[in-house]
């Protein structure tokens, strides 16, 4: 398998993975919107801050998924750039 074909296949696979992670990222952010509660939120609303908020109100799993998706997207863009640069180099007309 040539280097270009391997890079193209990796780019395609990672693109599909990033697309799936984008959907999961959207779902996680919807969950954060509905469940995230912090002392800052209560203070901003002028409400008394309850003591001992449950750990799930910080939505740590959702924020982890958001970070994973951003790092995956960054990796995909780097791989995509390398693949396109190699394609452009191979398609350059010889003079």
**17 belongs to a structural domain:** yes
Q: Nearest to residue 55, comparing CAs of 34, 37, 71, 68?
A: 37
| Mean residue pLDDT across the chain | 86
In a domain, 55, yes or no: yes
At 46 the pLDDT is 87
In a domain, 43, yes or no: yes
Instruction: Output the pLDDT for position 87.
Output: 86
The domain containing residue 83 runs over which residues?
A: 3-90
Q: Is residue 95 part of a domain?
A: no
Predicted confidence (pLDDT) per residue in 33-65, tens digit: 887 777 777 788 888 878 777 777 778 888 899
Whether the CB-CB separation of 82 and 10 falls below 8 Å is answered with no
Question: Does residue 13 form part of some domain?
Answer: yes
- For residue 95, the model assigns a pLDDT of 64
**Average pLDDT score over residue span 3-10:** 86
How does DSSP classify residue 94? P
Overall number of domains in the chain: 1
3-class DSSP assignment, residue 42? helix
The count of other CB atoms within 10 Å of the CB of residue 86 is: 14
């Amino acid at each position: 398998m040539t280097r270009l074909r391997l890079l193209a296949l990796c780019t395609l696979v990672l693109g599909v993975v990033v697309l799936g992670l984008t959907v999961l990222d959207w779902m996680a952010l919807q969950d954060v919107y509905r469940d995230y509660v912090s002392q800052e939120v209560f203070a901003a609303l002028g409400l008394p801050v309850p003591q001992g908020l449950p750990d799930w109100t910080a939505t740590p799993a959702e924020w982890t998924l958001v970070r994973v998706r951003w790092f995956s997207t960054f990796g995909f863009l780097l791989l995509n750039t390398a693949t396109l640069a190699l394609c452009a180099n191979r398609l350059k007309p010889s003079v």
